[in-house]
Amino acid sequence: MIPPQEASARRREIEDKLKQEEETLSFIRDSLEKSDQLTKNMVSILSSFESRLMKLENSIIPVHKQTENLQRLQENVEKTLSCLDHVISYYHVASDTEKIIREGPTGRLEEYLGSMAKIQKAVEYFQDNSPDSPELNKVKLLFERGKEALESEFRSLMTRHSKVVSPVLILDLISGDDDLDAQEDVTLEHLPESVLQDVIRISRWLVEYGRNQDFMNVYYQIRSSQLDRSIKGLKEHFHKSSSSSGVPYSPAIPNKRKDTPTKKPVKRPGRDDMLDVETDAYIHCVSAFVKLAQSEYQLLADIIPEHHQKKTFDSLIQDALDGLMLEGENIVSAARKAIVRHDFSTVLTVFPILRHLKQTKPEFDQVLQGTAASTKNKLPGLITSMETIGAKALEDFADNIKNDPDKEYNMPKDGTVHELTSNAILFLQQLLDFQETAGAMLASQETSSSATSYSSEFSKRLLSTYICKVLGNLQLNLLSKSKVYEDPALSAIFLHNNYNYILKSLEKSELIQLVAVTQKTAERSYREHIEQQIQTYQRSWLKVTDYIAEKNLPVFQPGVKLRDKERQIIKERFKGFNDGLEELCKIQKAWAIPDTEQRDRIRQAQKTIVKETYGAFLQKFGSVPFTKNPEKYIKYGVEQVGDMIDRLFDTSA
């Protein structure tokens, strides 16, 4: 049982806690009441604020909308005024630009093009907005007048500033590729830079805005004339230089072999010199065309629109190219006539020209890229014509050597080298300068399939075969001609001289190597022929030496008196020898052996034979009493006979 005191204390503690809780609850209740009151007040305030905002919004929105409308109206007014100003400006374009257009673009191209831009815009405006307006006609007429003025200015600038290129400058330009010491390339300034820029501006305007291509025709006509005149001027330069100094200024191709033969059979010196000038001039004109055409294309590329460049260039070069081709065909025609006359020295002009054309063809083809097929085919056509006429000349020359009818007339009386031989060898030697060209000529006429893509070795063999053919024909003709001589000894001297001349000429040049390509024994064969003719000549002395030969002499006993018949035989032998010696020396002194070495060799051989035979005869019969007048029969000593033979083949002796 809990004591009363503890129970009383416990009750008081509980009552205190209860009282405390009641106070807390009372505080919370008071706080809630205050919070509710505050909430009610706040709701009342917010409701009042919302009501005021709605009233304000209802008042402001109409004002805002009205302001927006006013701003839009103002912008529209400003735009309208701006458009009016712009439109009104088109009506003033004609009056504002008429003076500038009338005075033309010279000296103020930028300003002029600016005015043309304004006029063009005015035309576009009136066409779109007022096609029936009189103003449209005004600005249209003004635009056309301005365009015509620009076309005229283009023509004027091109005409005034396009100059013929001087021959000296062209020759320097040609030599630039081959002059290894040249510090810089030679360049051509066809138009001053400022003029070029004006021309470019005008051409671009005419293409873009003028819708006009006539200026391209103007361009190619003017430049075509300058190109043609430049090349003709170079040709005239060669003629004038050659007539005044004999040697034209010609630095072109300085490091290459000259494209003209080093020697020529000079039948008509004046004409041959002129042919050399014509050949040299034509070769340089071909090179000049390539260089000038390249330069023309570079200029054209800046001025003419890209898709019109090839066609315009094709038209531009036609006159100059046609002139070159016509001149080339004239050369072919002249060669054809020369062949008929058997004037083969003239035909040789085709060789250096053809060689140069073939060397230049790659550059030609590059320059003519994009031109019409008819333009590209002109040079190959000329090359074919020249190859054909060259092959014809070679064929006819070989036939002419074989069939030359000049037997009884114009034969050298002294048995020296015939003109036909010297001309034939000279012609063949000149072919050495044009081995590839001549070989290609011959190959071009071959019908075999291999000839379509012939090699240099193939053409070399053809040329070797041809040279051997000419030499064979020459040998046959010489044999035929030699029969004209009544004296077999003179005939032998004639053949000896000609064969020896041929052999020495072959050996002095590269001809012998070329002949050896197809005929390896040619040199030995000529030497055999020469020896054969020497032996034939030596037989002419048999009628002299036979008189005193051992086999024909009488046999007698030493110390025994000669019989009359024996004395007579000895007299006849001395007389026959003396007469024969004198006759042969007199006749053969007038004969000629131009080759000193051969002449001395033949004299020495003959002298040895005759002196030995005569010496033996003289030793045997010189002291024999066969006559009372020995000086009448023993007219010559052995050395005298040798001296007489030493004077053979010497018309000055």
pLDDT at residue 652, as a whole number = 64
240, 353, 532, 600 from 648: Cα distances, Å: 52, 48, 20, 10
Phi first, then psi, for residue 21 (nearest 5°) are -65, -40
Sorted by sequence, the CB contacts under 8 Å of residue 182 that are 6+ apart come out as 175, 176
User: Taken in order 390, 395, 400, 402, is the CA torsion positive or negative?
Assistant: positive
Among the residue ranges 345-359, 424-438, 547-561, the one predicted with the least confidence is 547-561
Among the residue ranges 87-91, 132-136, 410-414, the one predicted with the least confidence is 87-91
Angle formed by the axes of helices 522-538 and 596-621, nearest 10°:
30
pLDDT at residue 182, as a whole number = 45
The per-residue pLDDT for range 357-379, each reduced to its tens digit, is: 999 999 999 999 989 999 999 99
In sequence order, what DSSP letters do the residues of 255-271 get, joined into one string?
Answer: TS--SS-S----SSHHH
Q: Quick one: pLDDT band at residue 77, thresholds 50, 70, 90?
A: low
Tell me which of 350 and 71 has the higher pLDDT: 350
Q: Determine the 3-state secondary structure of 82 from DSSP.
A: helix
pLDDT at residue 381, as a whole number = 95
CA distance 352 to 359: 10
274, 347 in Cβ contact below 8 A? no
Tell me which of 551 and 571 has the higher pLDDT: 571
Tell me which of 215 and 552 has the higher pLDDT: 215
Residues in the chain: 653
pLDDT at residue 244, as a whole number = 60
pLDDT mean over 559-566:
79
Q: Quick one: pLDDT band at residue 12, thresholds 50, 70, 90?
A: confident
pLDDT mean over 71-79:
68
Tell me which of 365 and 95 has the higher pLDDT: 365
335, 381 in Cβ contact below 8 A? no
pLDDT at residue 537, as a whole number = 96
pLDDT at residue 375, as a whole number = 95
Evaluate if residue 268 carries a pLDDT over 50: no
Q: Quick one: pLDDT band at residue 258, thresholds 50, 70, 90?
A: very low
Evaluate if residue 308 carries a pLDDT over 90: yes
Select from 459, 434, 277, 466 the least CA-distant residue to 355: 434
pLDDT at residue 78, as a whole number = 54
pLDDT mean over 242-247:
57
pLDDT at residue 567, as a whole number = 87
Among the residue ranges 292-301, 351-360, 398-407, 551-560, the one predicted with the least confidence is 551-560
pLDDT mean over 28-57:
81
The per-residue pLDDT for range 566-624, each reduced to its tens digit, is: 888 889 999 999 999 999 999 999 999 999 999 999 999 999 999 999 999 998 888 88
Q: Quick one: pLDDT band at residue 1, thresholds 50, 70, 90?
A: low
CA distance 462 to 449: 15
Evaluate if residue 266 carries a pLDDT over 90: no
Mean pLDDT, the chain, as a whole number? 85
